[in-house]
């Protein structure tokens, strides 16, 4: 099959729509179930590149959650401790530790659950039954993977009344070195971004502190590969093998850093005792819990506590801004990547508020000295990678 007819393009009025191979060859993807749309395929193909590259560099199974052609998170298949399992709503799953792919998905989906609502999932490895069971119980548009076990495929085909989008991609497919697209009838052409992201990028360290731990190198790789497939401008915070805050598509660098930092803060605060021990009513859905937790952390926690009868068995304790700030100030060891240089030290100041200890960015700003000085003030390690990762 060298083309696939889509229901419509980005919007229902944009018809006809299809994907196809310009050279007449067969598509490297097979639709096993459902009818993916235009945006579904944009998410699928971008997210697949991310997990494929991340697996190649780290050797660890990984997963990504995508919405509107940017990742909400990407994660390696590392085991989750009990607090993280509870924060990601997978503490009820038996055998999770036995499936690295399921661990990767649990982390990716559990990072920014509000943004992942209705996501497209990418898996680096053949989807197993446990991973399929986790996907089945979340609100999602589809999944792409290099393969599915018979049991996993049967489970996923039951989702969305049988219409769940399931795509299988040829893991050996390599795209042409030159890529093209059209905008307003005008054709664009460029070389595909084959830039390799690995530890070699972290050799130029202009800060006083030059100690990069193995974990920091791993997390910086996670952040940069995530950014490679995120709509620019973009910044990503990473910790413990996963992207914990992605700020995508902002016009200014500081807004990227603030947006991603707020998401990283929320991720950390979800693991605070006050959040983990919220007295939710039995039977409350995970999606309702997500909304309540977000309000408890980011909106008016006093209002949430005043109107507690709807969601809780008893009135929860308020989570004050001072308590949150003290908790976040105790954090460290977070890694931060940026797809282009930081023009001012204010980005580093904001990053410090979310526990950032390690930074990777291209460098090359006329104010690099100010950015380095700000890093030194907080004893951060910063690498100048010399590479830009814009993606549009």
Of 161, 282, 321, 392, which residue is the catalytic one?
Answer: 392
**pLDDT tens per residue, the chain (392 residues)?**
789 999 899 999 999 999 999 888 999 999 999 999 999 999 999 999 999 999 999 999 999 999 999 999 999 999 999 999 999 999 999 999 999 999 999 999 999 999 999 999 999 999 999 999 999 999 999 999 999 999 999 999 999 999 999 999 999 999 999 999 999 999 999 999 999 999 999 999 999 999 999 999 999 999 999 999 999 999 999 999 999 999 999 999 999 999 999 999 999 999 999 999 999 999 899 999 998 999 899 876 566 666 788 889 998 888 889 999 999 999 999 999 999 999 989 999 999 999 999 999 999 999 999 999 999 999 999 999 999 999 99
DSSP 127: B
Buried b (16+ CB within 10 A) or exposed e, 217-246: bbbbbbbbbbbbbbbbbbbbbbbbbbbbbb
Return the closest-CA partner of residue 123 out of 137, 113, 108: 108
- For residue 233, indicate whether it is catalytic: yes
Q: How many CB atoms lie within 10 A of CB 64?
A: 32
Q: Using CA atoms, how far apart are residues 41 and 58, in angstroms rounded to an integer? A: 26
**Does residue 233 lie within any of the structural domains?**
yes
User: 202 and 68 in one domain?
Assistant: no
Q: How many CB atoms lie within 10 A of CB 341?
A: 19
User: 148 and 64 in one domain?
Assistant: yes
Q: Residue 300 has what pLDDT?
A: 60
- For residue 210, indicate whether it is catalytic: no
| CA 203 to mean position of chain CA atoms | 26
Q: Residue 46 has what pLDDT?
A: 97
Tokens representing 257 are 């850093």
State the pairing for strand pair 334-338/234-239: antiparallel
User: 56 and 155 in one domain?
Assistant: yes
Return the closest-CA partner of residue 272 out of 227, 312, 326: 326
User: 145 and 130 in one domain?
Assistant: yes
Q: Residue 299 has what pLDDT?
A: 75
Mean pLDDT across the chain: 95
User: 198 and 228 in one domain?
Assistant: yes
CATH code of the domain containing 234: 3.40.140.20
Of 40, 165, 233, 347, which residue is the catalytic one?
Answer: 233
Q: Using CA atoms, how far apart are residues 244 and 110, in angstroms rounded to an integer? A: 9
Q: Using CA atoms, how far apart are residues 326 and 342, in angstroms rounded to an integer? A: 27
User: 183 and 169 in one domain?
Assistant: no
User: 33 and 128 in one domain?
Assistant: yes
User: Tokens 């229902």 identify what position?
Assistant: 12
- For residue 68, indicate whether it is catalytic: yes
Of 55, 67, 263, 311, which residue is the catalytic one?
Answer: 67
Q: Residue 152 has what pLDDT?
A: 98
Query: pLDDT over 90 for what percent of the chain?
Result: 90
Helix (H) or strand (E) holding 221: helix 214-228
State the pairing for strand pair 70-76/62-67: antiparallel
Query: pLDDT over 70 for what percent of the chain?
Result: 98
DSSP 379: T
Of 68, 136, 272, 281, which residue is the catalytic one?
Answer: 68
Q: How many CB atoms lie within 10 A of CB 98?
A: 11
* Number of structural domains the chain divides into: 3
User: 57 and 9 in one domain?
Assistant: yes
**Does residue 365 lie within any of the structural domains?**
yes
User: 137 and 64 in one domain?
Assistant: yes
**Does residue 323 lie within any of the structural domains?**
no
Packing angle, helices 38-58 and 214-228, rounded to 10: 160
Tokens representing 386 are 């010399």
**Residue span of the structural domain in which 278 resides:** 273-318
- For residue 192, indicate whether it is catalytic: no
User: 262 and 169 in one domain?
Assistant: no
**Does residue 295 lie within any of the structural domains?**
yes
pLDDT in tens, 34-60: 999 999 999 999 999 999 999 999 999
User: 169 and 197 in one domain?
Assistant: no
Q: Which residues pair with 33 in a beta bridge?
A: 166
- What DSSP line would sit under 279-311, residue for residue? -BPTT--HHHHHHHHHHHHHS-HHHHHHTGGGT
Query: Is the Cβ–Cβ distance between 168 and 32 less than 8 Å?
Result: yes
Q: Residue 301 has what pLDDT?
A: 57
**Does residue 391 lie within any of the structural domains?**
no
User: 223 and 99 in one domain?
Assistant: no
The answer, as to whether pTM is greater than 0.75, is yes
């Amino acid at each position: 099959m060298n083309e696939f007819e889509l229901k419509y393009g980005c919007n229902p009025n944009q018809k006809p729509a299809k994907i196809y191979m310009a050279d007449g060859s067969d598509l490297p993807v097979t639709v096993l179930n459902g009818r993916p749309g235009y945006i579904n395929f944009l998410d699928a193909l971008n997210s697949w590149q991310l997990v494929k590259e991340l697996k190649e560099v780290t050797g660890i199974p990984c997963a990504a959650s995508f919405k509107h052609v940017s990742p909400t998170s990407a994660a390696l298949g590392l085991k989750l401790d009990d607090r993280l399992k509870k924060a990601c709503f997978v503490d009820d799953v038996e055998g999770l530790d036995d499936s690295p792919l399921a661990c990767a998905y649990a982390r990716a989906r559990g990072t920014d659950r509000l943004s992942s609502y209705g996501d497209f999932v990418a898996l680096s490895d053949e989807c197993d039954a446990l991973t399929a069971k986790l996907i089945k119980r979340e609100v999602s548009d589809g999944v792409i993977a290099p393969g599915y076990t018979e049991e996993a495929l049967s489970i996923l085909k039951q989702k969305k009344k049988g219409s769940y989008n399931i795509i299988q991609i040829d893991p050996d497919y390599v795209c042409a070195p030159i890529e093209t697209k059209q905008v307003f009838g005008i054709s664009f052409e460029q070389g595909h971004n084959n830039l390799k992201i690995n530890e070699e990028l972290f050799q130029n360290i202009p800060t006083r502190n030059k100690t990069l731990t193995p974990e920091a190198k791993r997390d910086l790789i996670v952040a940069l590969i995530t950014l490679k497939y995120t709509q620019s401008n973009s910044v990503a915070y990473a910790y413990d093998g996963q992207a914990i805050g992605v700020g995508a598509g902002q016009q200014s660098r500081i807004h990227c850093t603030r947006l991603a930092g707020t998401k990283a803060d929320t991720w950390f605060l979800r693991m605070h005792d006050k959040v983990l021990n919220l007295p939710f009513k039995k039977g409350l859905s995970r999606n309702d819990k997500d909304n309540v937790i977000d309000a408890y952390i980011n909106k008016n926690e006093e209002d949430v506590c005043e109107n507690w009868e709807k969601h809780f068995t008893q009135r929860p304790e308020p989570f004050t801004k001072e308590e949150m700030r003290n908790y976040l100030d105790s954090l460290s060891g977070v890694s931060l990547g940026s797809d282009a240089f930081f023009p001012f030290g204010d980005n580093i100041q904001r990053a410090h508020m979310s526990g950032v200890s390690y930074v990777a960015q291209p460098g090359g700003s006329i104010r690099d000295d100010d950015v380095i000085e700000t890093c030194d003030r907080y004893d951060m390690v910063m690498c100048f990678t010399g590479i830009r990762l814009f993606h549009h």
